[in-house]
Amino acid sequence: MFSKGTKRKFSDGGEAISDESLLGARVASSYSLQRQSLLDMSLIKLQLCHMLVEPNLCRSVLIANTVRQIQEEMTHDGSWHMVTEAFCSAGQSPSERLVATEVLCRSREQDAEPKLFSVISYEGCREEEVVADETLCSVSVSNTVSNVCLAGRMGQCWEKSELSGVERDEEVLEDSRLGSGEDEEIATEDGASTESPKTIGQVFGTFEIKNGSPGPDSALEELFSDVDTSYYDLDTMLTGMQSAPKMGPYDLLDSLAPSHSSPSIVSTPNCRSDLNELDHIMEIIVGS
Amino acid sequence: VNAPRGGVGGGNDFQWCFSQVKGAIDEDVAEADIISTVEFNCSGELLATGDKGGRVVIFQREQESKNRLLSRGEYNVYSTFQSHEPEFDYLKSLEIEEKINKIRWLPQQNAAHFLLSANDKTIKLWKISERDKRAEGYNLKDEDGRLRDQFRITTLRVPVLMPMDLMVEASPRRIFANAHTYHINSISVNSDYETYLSADDLRINLWHLEITDRSFNIVDIKPANMEELTEVITAAECHPHQCNVFVYSSSKGTIRLCDTRAAALCDRHSKFFEEPEDPSSRSFFSEIISSISDVKFSHSGRYMMTRDYLSVKVWDLNMENRPVETYQVHEYLRSKLCSLYENDCIFDKFECCWNGSDSAIMTGSYNNFFRMFDRNTRRDITLEASRENSKPRAMLKPRKVCTGGKRKKDEISVDSLDFNKKILHTAWHPKENVIAVAATNNLYIFQDKIN
């Protein structure tokens, strides 16, 4: 279905269009449509990670490689610039353009809150982690500060993180607005590859938090040096939260994405797994 | 002479028959009950399964009874224990699943059995031992365990060992933790019986079975900048005889063979196995379907087998540029790759296994189908693990998928396949023609028919 066929530019009106070239144009545009749809699907898959459990790195890498392949091909085609130009003319800021494919905008409600959820919780837990007592850890830690696991204190962790996270979120918004100028620079330099580094960096950024280096001092430093701040910028773009409303614990629950176990992206989510997931999250938050 | 009836395996033609099925019959499958790994021990006497709920269930084969000639020994539950619990990664605010990714048995050296079980982050060494005797006749305490009144003790006696009901105990002897930032996909016991390797998406560590607080990192493919990451480790295994050799496969369809004698860090491979891509079949999905989901050495150590999405390949360790044999598992899915990408099935990780003599290989597919290939006769067969075919000793009927045109009776069309019923984990008894097939939450055991 997606094997490479011969591509011809779609000829604009005004010329006499023969049947043959029309057919060729149809094939080409059908291929382009399929390719675009594959690109959109891939980008959604990268965003819609099940954020309770760490996403599968192999799957993310394979999807990201697919996105790169498509973008490379579209760059050679010249169709990539058309896409980016179109959105530029619409007056959106360059950083918003990164995820401004139609499908992503449609699914903004879906993928927005899980990201926010994890951003909030990551931030909150990071602050708390610095002062954490080792005895709280369920797994004994030798030297590394980074590999801290916590069971049974889950309830407190989530509660604390929500409060501190919302404040942090407002800060992030400021940063992102300031940062948009920087993005523009990168965009014009890199051309087609702007979108993928941001997306991929954001996806792989989740993993780049731990490291096993010895020595508590250097461990802390390296811990924070790996943080990819573009993660938060992209996230605020997704949420479109220009004015950050104060969110209570139940707002998060309301806006969680459906469980990733649903077989297809466009199908209605499995209600039962939704409820299970909500119960599960409630347990964590309430700390039962 | 019996005419061959589509059997596969060994030099003769074997006919696969249903033997047992373990697990609930409910249509409603509890997520925790989904079997995530299956492994026979070195003698085949024990069969271990791990599930998503972090539990390990070990089955033991009963001794063959002379009275019941027609049925080989059946597998019955021997021990059940909770191996891993869900944990919470405080730093990333993510759950660590308790799902058992792999179980590997250690060779038996005394009366007890040892196995390694791994979830995403932690490996544990479990000791499974039997207790069938109990000491009775203590002097200082009575049978309840209460201390006896010392003034009542007038004679001394020697405690006697009395038989008791068999008790099987599982205890964790070692916990190998905090060595993996990414998700563990493989563990493999080395032929020296002292060390083992564990592999995650980006790193491989070498452990000593006695030492839990440190491991050697022998492969590290993590790029300095994570944004440059394009390839991950998907599986790894130690060579069955050469304790310095191991292989690891990647998401780009390559296999690297490494020698631990060459360098402390085996980032540079000794051999690099990759089949050149067929340019005519290139598509956006080419890389994804070339990703290797499992790699297994043959028992002989001369060959290795890799499983990618659509095929199984056998490689001669002396030939790096292409496999010596390629078997199509479900080529009819090639035209469905886009749908399989959409519903994520294209990322399913199927395992594969050799039979004891390396003459046959087996792997799973969808619709609870599994496939067997005889390397000598080049015959292949598709069988199904289902409750419908589960009459005792009922012979399994070969299944066929209709790829186009008119569908014959008993054939199933590609569009009717159930992609939720996937057989990812299978195991073959190391010596006999007994196979274990995990179908979601059920474990099927099939045996060859005794003539």
Mean pLDDT of chain B: 92
Poorest-confidence range of A1-5, A256-260, B34-38? A256-260
Q: Which long-range contacts (CB under 8 A, 24 or more apart) does A169-178 make?
A: A169/A116, A169/A119, A169/A120, A169/A236, A169/A241, A169/A244, A170/A244, A172/A119, A172/A232, A172/A233, A172/A235, A172/A236, A173/A236, A173/A241, A173/A242, A173/A244, A175/A229, A175/A232, A175/A233, A176/A95, A176/A232, A176/A233, A176/A236, A176/A237
Poorest-confidence range of A277-281, B129-133, B257-261, B418-422? A277-281
pLDDT of residue B214 exceeding 60, the answer is yes
At A283, list the tokens: 């347990």
Residue B206 and residue B167 in contact, taking contact as beta carbons nearer than 8 Å: no
Which among B88, B119, B418, B419 is the top mutation candidate for probing chain A, defined by the most A β-carbons within 10 Å of its own β-carbon? B88
Look at the alpha carbons of B347, B350, B351, B357 in this order and tell me if their dihedral is positive or negative: negative
Asked if the Cβ–Cβ distance from A210 to B181 is below 8 Å, we say yes
Which among B93, B176, B220 is the top mutation candidate for probing chain A, defined by the most A β-carbons within 10 Å of its own β-carbon? B93
Task: Kindly list the residues from chain A whose CB atom is less than 8 angstroms away from the CB atom of residue B417.
Answer: none
pLDDT digit string (tens) for B69-118?
A: 555 689 999 999 999 999 998 888 888 999 999 999 999 999 999 999 99
Report d(CA A262, CA B117) in Å as an integer: 29
For chain A, the distance separating the N- and C-terminal CA atoms, rounded to the nearest angstrom, is: 50
Asked if the Cβ–Cβ distance from A264 to B343 is below 8 Å, we say yes
More confident residue, B124 or B282: B124
User: Reduced to 3 states, what is the DSSP secondary structure of residue A226?
Assistant: coil
Domain boundaries, chain A: 20-286
Going by C-beta distance under 8 Å and a sequence separation of 6 or more, which residues neighbour residue B7? B13, B14, B15, B16, B381, B448
Instruction: Determine the pLDDT at residue A218.
Output: 52
Task: Kindly list the residues from chain A whose CB atom is less than 8 angstroms away from the CB atom of residue B234.
Answer: 58
pLDDT digit string (tens) for B252-299?
A: 999 999 999 988 888 889 999 999 998 988 999 999 999 999 999 999
User: Reduced to 3 states, what is the DSSP secondary structure of residue B250?
Assistant: strand
User: pLDDT over 90 for what percent of chain A?
Assistant: 10
User: Reduced to 3 states, what is the DSSP secondary structure of residue B377?
Assistant: coil
Task: Kindly list the residues from chain B whose CB atom is less than 8 angstroms away from the CB atom of residue A68.
Answer: 230
* A vs B: CB pairs below 8 A: 154
Q: What ipTM does the predicted assembly reach?
A: 0.91
Confidence category of residue A283, pLDDT binned at 50, 70, 90 = confident
**Mean pLDDT value of segment B312-323:** 97
Give the nearest partner residue to A129 out of B90, B232, B282, using CB atoms. B90
Q: Name the percent of chain B in helix, strand, coil, to the closest 5.
A: 10, 45, 50
Q: Which range has highest mean pLDDT (A115-119, B9-13, B71-75, B301-305)?
A: B301-305
Task: Kindly list the residues from chain B whose CB atom is less than 8 angstroms away from the CB atom of residue A220.
Answer: none
Strands, sheet with B123-136, edge to edge from the N-terminal-most edge strand? B102-105, B113-118, B123-136, B160-176
Instruction: Determine the pLDDT at residue B69.
Output: 57
Report d(CA A44, CA A264) in Å as an integer: 12
pLDDT of residue B127 exceeding 50, the answer is yes
Asked if the Cβ–Cβ distance from A129 to B178 is below 8 Å, we say no
pLDDT of residue A135 exceeding 90, the answer is no
Give the nearest partner residue to A139 out of B178, B183, B347, using CB atoms. B178
Instruction: Determine the pLDDT at residue B308.
Output: 97
User: Reduced to 3 states, what is the DSSP secondary structure of residue A127?
Assistant: helix
User: Reduced to 3 states, what is the DSSP secondary structure of residue A63?
Assistant: helix
pLDDT of residue B48 exceeding 60, the answer is yes
Report d(CA B4, CA A119) in Å as an integer: 62
Which among B27, B94, B288 is the top mutation candidate for probing chain A, defined by the most A β-carbons within 10 Å of its own β-carbon? B94
Instruction: Determine the pLDDT at residue A173.
Output: 39
Asked if the Cβ–Cβ distance from A208 to B226 is below 8 Å, we say yes
